[in-house]
Chain A
């Protein structure tokens, strides 16, 4: 990618009170890419995403989106700029129907004429939702709520979609389905995505590039092939065991990330 990245994050540091959650994070997302942020629990992945969209305020660093410095902008402003955020845990509006939830996604759109067409597009990708169009969102299952949240974000016609742990709490089959949809959205609709995931296997299947976070720092970054072929990632995130034999077992291995 020779042109400037769509999203440029530089040296951000975010605190929760006295605790530093992420430090020295810099990453790029180019238009049309799917980029993953991988890491275990508590590594700081969601913090990064929330800092980017404005739900958290960084103490240092900058976030530049489409050439515009949006550091520490309130989330509603970043949304208006074209940043679609699908939060961790779905956060659908429980008492609104599926249709109303989706329409809320189009809240900031200036031209209201294409809304129906977009609704159709969403239902095309998430057929399960079409049957439940008038059902209150709280009555949907976890997987359907995830789809609803994503569809709602898509209704914004976002420049970039920030997905926070889409696989959280879903059955393996559903996870497969969701990632399938993510892949199609990217290849067919050209949606740029920044994806935060614990499920490294699934995430790497659909990503062009990835960053691995540990204890608030980036420990590895590269394109998809570099990630898939790296033995450390294979062992620690993809579950591949090393050469068997008691002598070869890596005890107390400090991940050294070469």
Chain B
């Protein structure tokens, strides 16, 4: 248990509030960067996949978790980012140009969606984002000259200042660095007035308007930032997969992203990572299990989605606050041991008010 001795107001704003934070997160970053020294090629590849999911999830969390805008179409930004990156690389530009362009074009896409979508809420917003995703997927299929259409498109390796990144561990470190920067950026936005405005809009648009916040502007901002980050993730996804087809970016991917952040812990940055790890590990785990199980079980069709579904449902039923929520409970237990109160997190019944006239 830690009791903070406040001697300065700035202490409340710090990202790392005390020595413990600094130590553990520092250790985590170190371990992550040192991972290629320990893990073999296959696992590094899996880790890269998880990092990319995390980046995509980070973008979605900014929009859905922190600004409260549901998006069923984030795969669209992944697509825009992926194809833009691949195209620019194909034209001979280095990643130094291709990546920012991927982010930029995604951002423009986000802006385009935001302007109509920011006026909508609830079901209508979800449908609008879904529509956008379908449109982008369609475009990707039809713009043969740029995207290679349904036949697909090869993706060159990333190039930085003339150096070509062929090794999987090099890609891993590249993605990790950008992810760390993106995470810090998001954390900083969240502790700024802008971030607080986003959360205010999520919690109560009426109240935030009463305080001078323009919900439209905030939502548009959230959409663009979210799209940019997810676009970057898409760019890296292109490198990971090496070959792009429009089918990758279907609605299933959007739903998977959404599931990821909800199961991880909606409304928290930690949740993004927990969710990415969960989904990544599940996928890997299931495919490994499939190989080791006797063929009578392993060969059953639809076993993957089945197991996937069962695990996801279990998480939702037993821990609606997500994995991060469960982690908080475990951490509280250890922090307060032995005085941890038995029913600290017992949820009280809530009977929500029906949606009223806005």
- Indicate with 1 or 0, residue by residue over B347-358, a CB within 8 angstroms of chain A CB atoms: 111010100110
Q: Across the interface, name the chain B residue whose C-beta is closest to A16.
A: B348
A15 and B357 within 8 A (CB): no
A197 within 8 A of B: no
Also in contact, A17 and B349, with CB within 8 A (given A94-B356, A138-B357): no
Q: Which residues of B contact A56 (CB under 8 A)?
A: 348-349
A15 and B356 within 8 A (CB): no
Distance between Cα atoms of A16 and B356 in the complex (Å): 25
A55 and B349 within 8 A (CB): yes
> How many A-B contacts if CB must be within 8 Å?
26
B339 → A minimal CB distance (Å): 12
A75 within 8 A of B: yes
Interface range on chain A (Cβ under 8 Å from partner) = 10 to 19
B351 and A15 within 8 A (CB): no
Q: Which residues of B contact A16 (CB under 8 A)?
A: 348
Q: Which residues of A contact B349 (CB under 8 A)?
A: 55-57
- Indicate which residue in A15, A55, A94, A138 contacts B343 across the interface (CB closer than 8 Å): A15
A245 within 8 A of B: no
Q: Which residues of B contact A18 (CB under 8 A)?
A: 341, 344-345
Also in contact, A17 and B345, with CB within 8 A (given A94-B357, A138-B357): yes
Q: Which residues of A contact B341 (CB under 8 A)?
A: 18
Also in contact, A17 and B346, with CB within 8 A (given A55-B351, A75-B351): yes
B157 → A minimal CB distance (Å): 51
Within 8 A of B (CB), among A47-73: 55-57, 59
- Indicate with 1 or 0, residue by residue over A172-197, a CB within 8 angstroms of chain B CB atoms: 00000000000000000000000000
A21 → B minimal CB distance (Å): 9
Distance between Cα atoms of A55 and B346 in the complex (Å): 15
- Indicate with 1 or 0, residue by residue over A129-158, a CB within 8 angstroms of chain B CB atoms: 000000000100000000000000000000
A50 → B minimal CB distance (Å): 9
Distance between Cα atoms of A59 and B346 in the complex (Å): 10
Distance between Cα atoms of A138 and B351 in the complex (Å): 20
Q: Which residues of A contact B347 (CB under 8 A)?
A: 17
Distance between Cα atoms of A15 and B343 in the complex (Å): 9
Q: Which residues of B contact A94 (CB under 8 A)?
A: 356-357
Q: Which residues of A contact B344 (CB under 8 A)?
A: 17-18
Distance between Cα atoms of A18 and B341 in the complex (Å): 8
Within 8 A of A (CB), among B301-339: none
Most chain B CB atoms below 10 A, which of A14, A18, A94, A138? A18
- Indicate which residue in B343, B351, B356, B357 contacts A59 across the interface (CB closer than 8 Å): B343
Q: Across the interface, name the chain A residue whose C-beta is closest to B342.
A: A59
- Indicate with 1 or 0, residue by residue over B224-249, a CB within 8 angstroms of chain A CB atoms: 00000000000000000000000000
Distance between Cα atoms of A214 and B346 in the complex (Å): 24
Distance between Cα atoms of A18 and B329 in the complex (Å): 12
- Indicate with 1 or 0, residue by residue over A1-29, a CB within 8 angstroms of chain B CB atoms: 00000000000001111100000000000
- Indicate with 1 or 0, residue by residue over A72-109, a CB within 8 angstroms of chain B CB atoms: 00010000000000000001001000000000000000
Using CB atoms and an 8 Å cutoff, list the residues of chain B in contact with chain A: 341, 343-349, 351, 353, 356-357
List 4 extra interface pairs beyond A17-B348, A75-B351, CB under 8 A.
A14-B348, A17-B345, A18-B344, A91-B353
- Give 3 closest A-B pairs by Cβ, nearest first: A18-B344, A16-B348, A57-B349
A sample of 8 inter-chain contacts (CB < 8 A) reads A14-B348, A15-B346, A18-B344, A18-B345, A55-B349, A56-B348, A57-B348, A94-B356
